Amino acid sequence: MSRSLKSTQSALIPGSTIGVIALSSPSEPKRFELGLKYLRSKGFNTKVVLNPTRAYGKSTHLFSSDSARSRARALESLFADPKVGAIIAARGGYGAMEVLPLIDFSLLRRFPKPFVGYSDSTAFLLSLYGAGVGFPIHGPSIEGGFSRASTNRHDALSVSKLLSYLCDRSSNPLKQVAVKQLCGPPRQIRAPLIGGNLTLIASLLGTPWEPEFKRHILFLEDRGEKPHRIHRMLLQLKLARKFEGIKAVLLGGFTDCGDAEHPKPSLRDVFEDIFEDLRIPVAWGAPFGHQSLNFPLPLGCRALLTSKSLDLV
């Protein structure tokens, strides 16, 4: 599947309403309010459902912001609301997978609109894409990106690129983004994007929402996983034959994934061991993931990947 937000989704305009939901963990109140304040300062109205901060610091719903059923119904209400032009995740954390069996994807398909998030939101982004629903975008969340945008120029740039993409259908949030060749042949690849957080992708294996990567550029990121755990998850995907037929691999931020006590094998060693024999281009250093430079990557949109740069086409 290949598509473009440009040709199929009405652009947002100043005054548009953006829905906000915590599909995963509850949000820290101060960070959440800072994120909402920044979004509103850019001229948007917000519709917040289920109060993402209410369960913060509590175990009422285990690790999640609300019951799985309540989150599913609230999500459906945002998609069905004609006044809501896009939806942004409050944060990641843990819990989005609980919601997947309870979502009526046929209902969501009747009201296509962008959904933005990253980290744990990967489970929902990939499920949307696999079901041909809406316009999933891997990008900044309210607490992770918007809340820091007033004080961090990299977060501000990432958020600006996202909002520009949602508002201006001719904008290109990945225009000539610099990357580095890690391994594989240095050839140009044009293919649709798919991917997200490595841990969530591995966790979806064997479920009805297991993603299919063939004929795509697969992008991956993660946080807080040591090299041997990164290797284990990549090896799981490889043994499950999930890398067969992919066109290229794009690696973003693997934040806090090193091991200071045991610097070798390094992350580079891990990536080369897994990908080198696939004989496809593998690039790293792309600005997305659990970091301030977290540029939007729209799933399903075609991209051009070279040994030095990444572009939407």
Using alpha carbons, select from 256, 212, 280 the residue that is nearest to residue 271: 280
Q: What is the pTM of this model?
A: 0.95
pLDDT tens digits, one per residue of 226-258: 999 999 999 999 999 999 999 999 999 999 998
Residue 285 near residue 180, CB atoms below 8 Å: yes
Q: 190 pLDDT exceeds 90?
A: yes
Strand partners, 53: none
Within 10 angstroms of residue 175's Cβ, the number of other Cβ atoms is 12
Q: What's the farthest any 2 CA atoms get from each other in the chain?
A: 53
177 bridge partner residues: 310
Structure-derived torsion over alpha carbons of residues 200, 205, 207, 212, reported in degrees to the nearest 10: 90
User: How do residues 1-48 score in pLDDT, each as one tens digit?
Assistant: 555 555 445 689 989 999 999 999 999 999 999 999 999 999 999 999
Domains detected in the chain:
5-167 (3.40.50.10740), 177-312 (3.50.30.60)
- pLDDT, one tens digit per residue, over 162-179 is 999 999 867 899 998 999
